[in-house]
Homo-oligomer: A and B are copies of this chain.
Amino acid sequence: MTTGTASTQAYEQLTRDLTVGRYAPGARLPGERDLAAQLGVSRATLRLALGRLESEGVLQRSAQRGWFVPTQVLSEPPSTLQSFTEMARARGLRPTARVMRQEVRPASMDEAAKLRIAPAAPVIEIDRLRGMDGTPVCFDVVVLPSARAAALLGADLTDASLYDVLRQTCGIEVHRSAYTLMAESADAELARLLGITAGAPVLVGDEVAYTSDGTPVLIGHNKYRGDAYRFEADLFRRA
């Protein structure tokens, strides 16, 4: 016998099987009972090994269905709302953010209309410079009605996803966003922040986010470095 605990040995054997290609990408592994018998361990022990493999992303679990080998192709990226933080993490990059402003002020006419609140009603504005692995990628302004999101004023948004904080501390669940994208040139100030030259192309996204009952809860204004960000969507043509 080699060394280590039984669960570690099962883990290592599975790792070997996977790297060798014993189980094809997308395929389902044998059931836990069979697999445990094959590896000569009990089912409980097997599950320790499987859990470890799952946390490493080498395997995916699906309740009542089985264990699957992840498909390397990130299949169809649907028009799905993915936060900057999530996107960065999905690509193995470390999302960073520097909060540059976080304060309450009266809403402008335009903001009041978009958020369906009274003009000059108090809103929270948060400006952040966001990046991946330290490189600035996006200058991000969000505006929310302070009546609904007061808790956000004290929140630390350096590391967290705004959507996550919004859900956890304010109980607000963003369901849909109306997104508008356009191309602009960076002015001197933005160029300085993003570390690009003035006049360089910038992808500008304007967002209005809604909860599932259709209430607008957030206005976003994002300016991305043109050379560091792409927007992907699936569009369907009606029959």
Smallest Cβ-Cβ distance to A224: which chain B residue = B183
Q: For A176, what are the chain B residues with a Cβ–Cβ distance below 8 Å?
A: 19, 76, 234-237
Interface centre among A19, A232, A236 (most CB of B within 10 A): A236
Question: Is the CB of A21 closer than 8 A to any CB of chain B?
Answer: yes
Known: A199-B199, A231-B180. A236 touches B6 (CB 8 A): no
Q: For A182, what are the chain B residues with a Cβ–Cβ distance below 8 Å?
A: 203, 226, 229-231
CA distance in complex: A76, B40 (Å): 14
Question: Is the CB of A34 closer than 8 A to any CB of chain B?
Answer: no
- By a beta-carbon cutoff of 8 Å, the part of chain A in contact with chain B is 1, 5-6, 16, 19-22, 24, 27, 60-65, 68, 76-81, 163, 173-185, 199-204, 224, 226, 229-239
CA distance in complex: A69, B182 (Å): 33
Closest CB in chain B relative to A21 CB, distance in Å: 5
CA distance in complex: A181, B203 (Å): 9
* B202 and A183 within 8 A (CB): yes
